[in-house]
Amino acid sequence: MVAGSPAFAPTAAALAIALSWSAEQGGIEPTRWPPGALFLLAVATVGFAAARRPLPRPGWVGVALVAIGAYTAWCYASIGWAAVPADAWTGANTTLLYALV
């Protein structure tokens, strides 16, 4: 059953956040998306902590997770050499949001 899947609640939360952002011009304003990102971070943390066992997944999923994690780390590192560090910070936070989803 889909409702009995351990991924159901986090997926439903991400969908609810995306739907609320779609009503707010896609959540592109810097005051709109950070609360949703923090909520998704909390949902992901609780989901991983509550998981009794890791879900089976193909090897390419692990490669994709490492790749998005490395890209997110690179975005945060780019703050150090960015011409406008505030813009790089916003971009890195947005990338973290994408990685969470």
The pLDDT of residue 57 is above 90 = no
**For range 33-43, the mean pLDDT:** 83
pLDDT the model gives residue 3: 60
The pLDDT of residue 97 is above 90 = no
pLDDT the model gives residue 74: 97
pLDDT the model gives residue 76: 96
pLDDT the model gives residue 42: 86
Q: Is 2 exposed, middle or buried (0-12, 13-18, 19+ CB in 10 A)?
A: exposed
Highest mean pLDDT among 1-5, 24-28, 51-55, 94-98: 94-98
